[in-house]
């Protein structure tokens, strides 16, 4: 069986995980960074981590000794560093260099502000490798999901003006909002901001584009929702939801009578003096957007435009983010009232969570990922935080209300979880110098679990079975003194945990502990995870990471229909020519039924021969971006996959690329669907040269038999390529675009 990419690639294509909670995204020993290109969003240079790796694996291969040796080697290079606080400046510079050299970031920008005074601001790393230029403190980064806090601020401004009531239904403000599920009428504005709306999550199809501020997703968003159902009762529990903030963006527009961009500029950017903060619609050629790369050594990418502004589309600098973060300190004064600020910090997400409390939970406020952040909660210090990840940009905003302190870290490449650990380091160092924290208190906070081998109680045997999670299915088998767990996508690897009492199963080294709980008759797997960046710090998360899958016996005819799709590839027709998904093969979806429990398609329950429906109901993060799958055949017997925002055709329906020396491919579909072709023996090894139309947008991508990218004309500007044997070609463009092809 070839390794499945369908669920992972759909997550990349439709979820773009920008949008995941920053420092609390650790999953089963791995920071949920998705940099491998098959899970939601990050494609940074260097470090590759993924939830598809086995549970319990370490955050990084770098050791403490290696990290310390690296920093010692920087002493000469950084000897001339100066700043308001030389010690903090020098140490921060060392850590920034480590982020780039050891932890895979192309560049990093950071700032610290307290009492309205900028204490630290710096940047390190590459902007344009070909020109050998570096990033500066004026460079602008995509801030991805940190944008959600700007949406929260925009809503709260209208609450203060008496124009929005958080607990009134959204339909009161957007009368044309409708869904197939009648429960949509119960969704309130508050539920949009605390992730409890019950919306499926967000497909983000055609939202992530290069050099293209297309408003398609915004303009057709209500049409999209009109064809969807809810995954849960509104207000039942909080699970990360991008579409909730997209809907909040529309609420702001309807109530204010202004575009979201104009409203943010007038009510947020200008009052706070955020001169480096933009929406995609405001970006200018002269803006110093930090360089981003698919991987080190590649050419600089075109500017990434995340065209879901309220969800994750803003650009900013670390200094601007610190200024914005000061809004949420006790001496804010400029943007929101104290009562509005306090309202954003209420533990909204706890209302729908059933597990015990930990400081490393996704403890949602209004917009915030956590209002009780590790390790500061264990120090007795309130810290609130929001992280974000797009395809190439990542970031973290951390605010300490009682200390009038704001810390921001932005990066190209890497992950928001890494940025959060860096932000945590900067805050701890400053608070230590100010006498707020002591080394004794810091050292007293736990950074790993202890292993005390015990016999597994008989009552835990009911934990055996399969567990579904966003992006993976796990098989759990208890042993006499622990448990074994297998990711069905990687059956060769068995991870072993030792039972340590009180219901905890601990992974060797103490990086993670699993625990099981039952709520309303459903069994859930919880994971507490410590993730360490040597020389930098440790993160901790505790969250629902799996829901037990009940048996689902299928009729033989249904089972046969799904088995016939095993090992099949489906080619996406609906992504725009400027889509970033073409850049990393995110438009070819490989299906492997062996990655799921029989009767299921990953975390979807198979209902009939052509339909699978999402069934998980976990709070926090790992039942996010729910979607249903439908397969249909046309009159000619060609099968198509429809999944929320995408439409894809099965490989056996593809035609071979013409072997003529000269021909034209026209995007003729009424909906502008892309055209895919196989590369046969008559054309393999020959050179294909394409000419793109001047009057319409268009792009050609070529992939090898292994789905690796060989050419993307939109990114590279190159117009010719040697055609790989058994590879694929896709032509995408505006409706009516004529793409001329010559093969020699």
Which tens digits make up the pLDDT trace of 575-593? 999 999 998 778 999 999 9
Rounded to whole angstroms, how far apart are CA atoms 31 and 394? 13
β pairing state of 655-656 and 675-678 = parallel
CATH code, domain carrying 734: 2.60.120.380
Cβ atoms of residues 217 and 205 within 8 Å: yes
Question: What range defines the domain where residue 710 resides?
Answer: 655-743
Q: Rg of the chain's alpha carbons, rounded to an integer?
A: 25
Q: What is the pLDDT of residue 59?
A: 73
Is 605 a member of any domain? no
Is 542 a member of any domain? yes
What is the value of pTM for the model shown? 0.92
What total number of domains does the chain contain? 2
CATH code, domain carrying 531: 2.40.128.20
Is 543 a member of any domain? yes
| Residue that finishes a domain, picked among 548, 565, 587 | 548
Q: Which two tokens stand for residue 734?
A: 């505006």
| Residue that finishes a domain, picked among 548, 574, 606 | 548
Residue 269: phi, psi to the nearest 5? -60, -55
β pairing state of 105-114 and 604-608 = unpaired
Is 446 a member of any domain? no
Is 505 a member of any domain? yes
Q: What is the pLDDT of residue 299?
A: 87
Rounded to whole angstroms, how far apart are CA atoms 276 and 320? 7
Alpha-carbon separation of residue 637 from 634, 640, 721 (angstroms)? 5, 10, 33
Q: Would the CA dihedral through 220, 222, 226, 232 be positive or negative? A: positive
β pairing state of 384-389 and 393-400 = antiparallel
DSSP string, 377-439: HHHT---EEEEEE-SSEEEEEEEEGGGTEEEEEEEEES-HHHHHHHHHHHHHHHHHHTTS--H
Which has the closest alpha carbon to 604: 641, 653, 556? 641
Cβ atoms of residues 547 and 620 within 8 Å: no
Q: Which two tokens stand for residue 578?
A: 């400027």
Q: Which two tokens stand for residue 545?
A: 């990471």
Tens of pLDDT along 332-356?
Answer: 768 999 999 999 999 998 888 888 8
Residues forming a β-bridge with 639 = 633
Is 518 a member of any domain? yes
| Residue that finishes a domain, picked among 548, 575, 599 | 548
Q: What is the pLDDT of residue 86?
A: 63
Is 327 a member of any domain? no
Rounded to whole angstroms, how far apart are CA atoms 603 and 7? 9
Is 733 a member of any domain? yes
β pairing state of 482-487 and 472-478 = antiparallel
The segments of the chain whose pLDDT lies below 50 read 1-53, 82-85
Query: CB neighbours of 489 closer than 8 A, spacing ≥ 6?
Result: 3, 4, 52, 472, 473, 592, 595
Query: CB neighbours of 159 closer than 8 A, spacing ≥ 6?
Result: 165, 166, 340
Rounded to whole angstroms, how far apart are CA atoms 137 and 111? 9
């Amino acid at each position: 069986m070839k390794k499945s990419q369908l669920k992972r690639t759909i997550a990349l294509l439709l979820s773009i995980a920008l949008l995941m909670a920053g420092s609390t995204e650790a999953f089963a020993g791995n920071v949920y960074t998705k940099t491998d290109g098959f899970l939601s969003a990050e494609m940074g240079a260097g470090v590759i981590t993924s939830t598809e790796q086995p549970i319990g694996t370490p955050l990084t291969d770098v050791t403490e000794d290696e990290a310390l040796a690296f920093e010692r080697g920087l002493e000469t290079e950084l000897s001339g560093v100066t700043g308001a606080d030389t010690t903090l400046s020098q140490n921060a510079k060392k850590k920034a260099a480590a982020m780039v050299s050891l932890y895979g970031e192309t560049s990093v920008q950071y700032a610290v502000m307290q009492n309205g005074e900028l204490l630290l601001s710096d940047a390190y790393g590459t902007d344009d490798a070909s020109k050998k230029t570096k990033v500066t403190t004026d460079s602008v980064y995509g801030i991805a999901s940190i944008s959600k806090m700007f949406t929260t601020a925009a809503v709260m401004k209208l609450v203060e003006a008496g124009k929005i009531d958080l607990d009134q239904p959204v339909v009161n403000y957007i009368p044309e909002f409708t869904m197939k599920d009648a429960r949509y009428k119960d969704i309130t504005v508050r539920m949009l901001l605390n992730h409890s709306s019950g919306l499926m999550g967000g497909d983000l199809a055609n939202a992530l584009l290069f050099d293209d501020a297309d408003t398609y997703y915004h303009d057709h968003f209500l049409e999209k929702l009109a064809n969807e159902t809810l995954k849960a009762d509104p207000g039942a529990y909080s699970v990360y939801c991008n579409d909730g903030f997209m809907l909040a963006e529309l609420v702001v527009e309807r109530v204010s009578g202004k575009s979201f961009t104009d409203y943010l500029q007038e009510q947020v950017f200008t009052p706070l003096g955020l001169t480096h903060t933009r929406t995609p619609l405001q970006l200018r050629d002269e803006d110093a957007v930090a360089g981003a790369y698919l991987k080190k050594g590649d050419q600089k990418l075109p500017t990434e435009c995340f065209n879901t502004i309220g969800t994750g589309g803003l650009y900013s600098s670390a200094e601007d983010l610190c200024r914005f973060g000061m809004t949420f300190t006790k001496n804010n004064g400029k943007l929101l009232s104290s009562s509005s600020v306090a309202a954003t910090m209420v533990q909204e997400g706890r209302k729908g969570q059933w597990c015990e409390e930990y400081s490393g939970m996704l403890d949602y406020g209004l917009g915030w990922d956590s209002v009780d952040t590790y390790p500061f909660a264990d120090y007795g210090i309130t810290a609130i935080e929001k992280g974000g990840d797009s395809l190439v940009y990542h970031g973290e905003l951390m605010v300490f209300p009682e200390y009038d302190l704001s810390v921001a870290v932005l990066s190209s490449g890497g992950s928001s979880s890494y940025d959060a650990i860096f932000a945590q380091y900067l805050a701890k160092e400053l608070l230590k110098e100010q006498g707020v924290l002591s080394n004794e208190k810091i050292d007293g906070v736990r950074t790993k679990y202890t292993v005390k081998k015990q016999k597994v109680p008989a009552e835990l045997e009911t934990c055996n079975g399969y567990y579904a999670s966003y992006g993976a299915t796990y098989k759990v088998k208890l042993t006499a003194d622990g448990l074994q767990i297998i990711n069905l996508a990687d059956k060769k690897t068995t991870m072993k945990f030792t039972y340590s009492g009180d219901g905890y199963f601990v992974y060797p080294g103490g990086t993670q502990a699993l625990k099981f709980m039952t709520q309303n008759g459903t069994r859930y797997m919880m994971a507490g995870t410590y993730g360490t960046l040597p020389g930098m710090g440790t993160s901790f998360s505790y969250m629902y990471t799996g829901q037990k899958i009940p048996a689902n016996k299928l009729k033989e005819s249904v089972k046969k229909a799904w088995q016939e799709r095993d090992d099949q590839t489906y080619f996406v027709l609906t992504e725009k020519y400027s889509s970033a998904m073409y850049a990393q093969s995110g438009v070819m979806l490989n299906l492997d039924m062996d990655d799921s429990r029989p009767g299921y398609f990953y975390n979807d329950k198979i209902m009939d021969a052509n339909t699978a429906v999402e069934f998980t109901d976990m709070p926090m993060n790992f039942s996010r971006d729910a979607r249903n799958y439908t397969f249909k055949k046309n009159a000619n017997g060609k099968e198509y996959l429809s999944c929320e925002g995408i439409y894809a055709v099965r490989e056996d329906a593809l035609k071979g690329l013409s072997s003529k020396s000269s021909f034209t491919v026209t995007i003729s579909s009424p909906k502008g669907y892309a055209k895919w072709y196989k590369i046969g023996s008559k054309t393999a090894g020959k050179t294909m040269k394409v000419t793109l139309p001047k009057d319409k947008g268009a792009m050609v991508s070529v992939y090898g038999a292994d789905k690796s990218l060989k050419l993307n004309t939109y990114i590279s500007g190159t117009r010719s390529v040697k055609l790989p044997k058994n590879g694929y070609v896709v032509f995408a463009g505006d409706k009516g675009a004529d793409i001329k092809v010559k093969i020699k």
